[in-house]
Amino acid sequence: MKIVTKTARFSSPLYLESGRILEPYEIAYETYGELNEDKSNVVLVCHALSGSHHAAGLYESDRKAGWWDGLIGDDKAIDTKKYFVVCTNVIGSCFGSTGPMSGMYPSEEPYRLKFPVVTIKDMIRAQMQLLSSLGIYHLRAIIGGSMGGMQALQFAVDYPNLADNIISLAATYATRPWTIAFNKVAVEAIRKDPRFKNGNYDKNAFKKEGLDGLAIGRIAGHISYLSPASMDEKFGRNYVSNDGLFELFGRYEVERYLEYNTANFARMFDPLSYLYIVKAINTFNLSRGYDSLYDAISRIKSRMHLISFSTDYLFFPEEMEHIYKMMERNGQSCSYLEVKSEYGHDAFLVELEKFDESIREILK
Amino acid sequence: MKIVTKTARFSSPLYLESGRILEPYEIAYETYGELNEDKSNVVLVCHALSGSHHAAGLYESDRKAGWWDGLIGDDKAIDTKKYFVVCTNVIGSCFGSTGPMSGMYPSEEPYRLKFPVVTIKDMIRAQMQLLSSLGIYHLRAIIGGSMGGMQALQFAVDYPNLADNIISLAATYATRPWTIAFNKVAVEAIRKDPRFKNGNYDKNAFKKEGLDGLAIGRIAGHISYLSPASMDEKFGRNYVSNDGLFELFGRYEVERYLEYNTANFARMFDPLSYLYIVKAINTFNLSRGYDSLYDAISRIKSRMHLISFSTDYLFFPEEMEHIYKMMERNGQSCSYLEVKSEYGHDAFLVELEKFDESIREILK
């Protein structure tokens, strides 16, 4: 599989939903496989909150492959022998695309809290610019899970002629207060952390020791990505402290897992980017800009494929089913699969074997 | 209804599950109604994590009545014309019973992190001491929800001859990693808050402005007490900031609710008490000290009444049902009611009308 990692720079403004503009801006992206002559073999992959454009393959220095490596590659469900796969880092993120810690042109001073709020609509508008710059005007498919699934849905509504197929996993039509509440833990924990300094932290401040507030917020994130049953299976009531059960700060295995993973995460993710991306998730509402959800959904011309996970506690299966039912009543092309899983929301990253075949079928 | 608020002081040691002792110790408690001559009309009520012994009635300076005022009173389900109701503040709490900020006798220095870990078993052992001191050796019923429901279950197992009826609501037989994970947000947020000072904060430090870490942890708590549907109903996607949707720190109504309530909570609850009580909840396991859960449950002689709530996302109905099925198979007296509710875990405090009649029946 041929992998190319690049950053594209755009000097024309990106008009944002807020009315503000981003200018100039950069989009980091990766491609897998090769573009065919008539550019008819493109699949766009969209990433989730903490993801990046590194969706597949292994960098030399890395221990872990891209976040959907099990799905993207030669002879895999998204077959890079056939398809040219593109994945971009969303604007607002911290892995190469323009975000709050990028320089505010022409100065090199980072935007920080002056960065404009970006939405899911803005994220896909930026991706449209990238695709145009590559001379790509039609896609075989757009696929993504969680916030990536939101992007896929928004593409379907905003650009009805763009893609043959839309595959949205573990997402929703509008973020519910339940999810906003989970995100609120991170928002408050980051804002109230004295080291956050109201966004004026040193750029390298958290490389050695991550921001506590982000790690704390991420604990709430992990809860929402898992499920009660997956935690039973993974951790049970195992206790891992040498000091015994009656030490106040003695830890259950689930606590050790949360501490370890969230501390790592806080070292590699930028707190301002986290706030901005969480805001994009909170404000996601397919019907915004249209008369109603029905009006938005009615615009869709692509074949829609919705995949939910039975124990997803962040975006519940009913939410995807709601879109499916609306499209079905409306006579639009739509399939819906509820994957039986104990893995919770994270199933879209973990239990690939349970929907791998469906993706192959769709792309055939 | 006659209300008496008192604090009892015990100079003999309380032997704790950890092997440590608490000596001396105090128990704050409230009683409602009057004790009959043969002391045969006593109902013990057990409170949850953030509750206190103030279960019913209105203090003069208070705007809000006790936490189960709708259930306890003259002619109410727990009828204070008939019953003498006792509710104690659990040890480890911060409303009058001995806890981490109590003086470490003979000094007046607070225990802080030297306070011993207390468990649900310890909490009920302390209540046994209080009951003995009042000359009460038999109860008509023990009732409680959430951590109060854990206490009721533990009473049933540890003191099989104590109560005619045990009524446990919205609880479990052993705390699952899912709940431990929710609690972990508070544990980490409190510990990592610089104002917590490793427990060495000034006793009055948080009266004006609560500890941020406790407020942040409490956000996670609120999520687990509510349900996706109750949040939809209560908040929807209403946005309450004047600055418009595209302000980074603009707030949805659910966010305002969480900010307001958790800030209030952090002013009235002690952070160390929170850590100790959360630890008691995390370590709750009915089978500890017995060969198995079956062995523990088999000891129960009281009539058991289990009430769960269909959308409880903290202690799931299956968990209560598990106890019910075990007792039923075992030929023990047990009833089980799953209340249909959209209110989540908090339904045991909110939707009293849905189980009021059941409580009346049980106590008849």
Nearest 5°: the CA angle A67, A68, A74 is 130
pLDDT digits (tens, 9 = 90+) for A156-168: 999 999 999 999 9
Whether the link from the prior residue into A106 is cis, omega within 30° of 0, is: yes
Single out the residue of A354, A351, A345 nearest to residue A222, CA to CA: A345
Euclidean distance between CA atoms A260 and A35, whole angstroms: 40
Interface test with B, best of A115, A119, A246 (most B CBs within 10 A): A246
B245: phi then psi, degrees, rounded to nearest 5: -65, -25
Q: Give catalytic residues of A, as residue numbers.
A: 146, 312, 345
pTM: 0.97
Residue A309, strand partner residues: A339
Which of B19, B181, B223 shows the shortest C-beta gap to A258? B181
Q: Which two tokens stand for residue B266?
A: 């952090």
Q: Which residue, chain included where needed, has tokens 């198995």?
A: B292
What lies within 8 Å, CB to CB, of A238 at 6+ separation is A252, A253
Catalytic site includes residue B312: yes
What lies within 8 Å, CB to CB, of B175 at 6+ separation is A237, B281, B282, B283, B284, B285
Q: Domains in chain B, start-ordered, CATH in brackets? A: 3-175+285-363 (3.40.50.1820), 183-280 (1.10.1740.110)
B363 and B78 Cβ atoms separated by less than 8 Å: yes
Interface test with B, best of A121, A178, A225, A262 (most B CBs within 10 A): A178
Task: Over range B181-204, report the average pLDDT.
Answer: 97
Euclidean distance between CA atoms A190 and B198, whole angstroms: 20
Q: What is the ipTM, given to two decimal places?
A: 0.97
Amino acid in position B17: E
Euclidean distance between CA atoms B308 and B300, whole angstroms: 19
Which of B181, B222, B316 shows the shortest C-beta gap to A223? B181
What pLDDT does residue B59 have? 79
What are the distances in angstroms from CA A70 to CA A58, A78, A80, A83, A356? 12, 9, 12, 15, 9
Euclidean distance between CA atoms B280 and B48, whole angstroms: 11
pLDDT at B60 over 80: no
pLDDT at B15 over 80: yes
Q: Is B318 helix (H, G, I), strand (E, B) or coil?
A: helix
- Residue numbers in B near A254 (CB within 8 A): 177, 180-181, 184
Single out the residue of B70, B89, B79, B93 nearest to residue B32, CA to CA: B79
Task: Over range B17-44, report the average pLDDT.
Answer: 97
What pLDDT does residue B29 have? 98
What pLDDT does residue B243 have? 83
Which of B178, B212, B219 shows the shortest C-beta gap to A185? B219
What pLDDT does residue B61 have? 76
pLDDT digits (tens, 9 = 90+) for A21-59: 999 999 999 999 999 999 999 999 999 999 999 999 988
